Amino acid sequence: MKKYVTYLLILLVSFLFLSVLSTSAALNIEKGMIYAPNSYCVIKAEIISVEQQQNATVISFKIAKVIGLSEKFYERFPYEKNNIKDKDCKQYYTEYIKDYFPDGTITASLNNTASLTGIKSGDTVKIDIYATGDEWGTNYVIDNIEQDSLAKIDFTGIKSEAIYLAVILALLLVILYLIFNKSRKK
């Protein structure tokens, strides 16, 4: 009986380990950009303040990490799929932003469709943001904002292929363990 419990524990630990790896890989495949007006980036940010001003909600935040191009960018500009990449978004938010916002704090208005439920100063959030601008300046608009899903383990991000891969690898580990365990007893 003890032998079977050991096998089950190895299988369970292997599956959980591979699931966490698969989840983090799946979540890091998210996309986001911004050189062109109305192009979308996805960033992780720390909220500095949330204020209601006249007709809009204004959020100040510091960028913690630039994830990359948003899927919305490809929906709006499908012809740019081969020209603009995640690295363009990362370059914009690391180089350009430093020049214009030396303290690193960016202020953006909140799109009417975005929800602030449960979000407050000090929270780490994931933001879909886009820039609009003209010769007088750039305005940043937050299209979507949500709590950072990497702060908690969220298994909804696992793709079915990742689950299959995790199960296959876990079974392979158990089989290898059984083979080496039997060969060691001989």
Same domain, 104 and 168: no
* Same domain (yes/no): 18, 109: no
Pair 18, 53 in one domain:
no
Let me know whether 80 and 145 are in one domain: yes
- Domain that includes residue 6, residue range: 1-29+155-186
Q: Which of 34-48, 51-65, 69-83, 90-104 has the highest mean pLDDT?
A: 51-65
Percent of the chain with pLDDT over 90: 1
Q: Is the pTM of this model over 0.85?
A: no
Q: What is the 3-state secondary structure (H, E, C) of 108-145?
A: EEECCCCCCCCCCCCCEEEEEEEEEEECCEEEEEEEEE
CATH number at residue 130: 2.40.50.320
pLDDT tens profile 51-69: 888 777 888 889 888 888 8
Q: Is the domain of 77 the same as that of 101? A: yes
Q: Which H or E run contains 64?
A: strand 56-69
Q: Mean pLDDT over residues 126-139, rounded? A: 72
Q: Which of 18-32, 70-84, 113-127, 143-157 has the lowest mean pLDDT?
A: 18-32
**Coil/strand/helix, residue 45:** strand
Question: Between helices 160-185 and 2-27, what is the axis angle to 10°?
Answer: 150
Q: Which residue has the higher pLDDT, 121 or 27?
A: 121
Same domain, 96 and 119: yes
If you compute the radius of gyration of the chain from its CA atoms, what whole number of angstroms results? Answer: 22
Q: 2 and 59 share a domain?
A: no
- Rounded to an integer, what distance in angstroms lies between the CA atom of residue 128 and that of residue 85? 16
Tokens of 166: 């995790």
Residue 9 confidence (pLDDT) above 60: yes
149 and 159 belong to one structural domain: no
Q: Determine the Cα–Cα distance for residues 80 and 92; give it in Å rounded to an integer.
A: 17
Check whether residue 35 and residue 84 sit in a common domain: yes
∠ CA 108-156-168 to the nearest 5 degrees? Answer: 135
Instruction: Assess whether 73 and 93 both reside in one domain.
Output: yes
> If you average pLDDT over residues 112-132, what whole number do you get?
78
Choose between 5 and 173: higher pLDDT.
173
The answer on 58 and 149 residing in a single domain is: yes
Structure-model confidence comparison of residues 180 and 135, the more confident one: 180
Q: Structural domain tally of the chain? A: 2
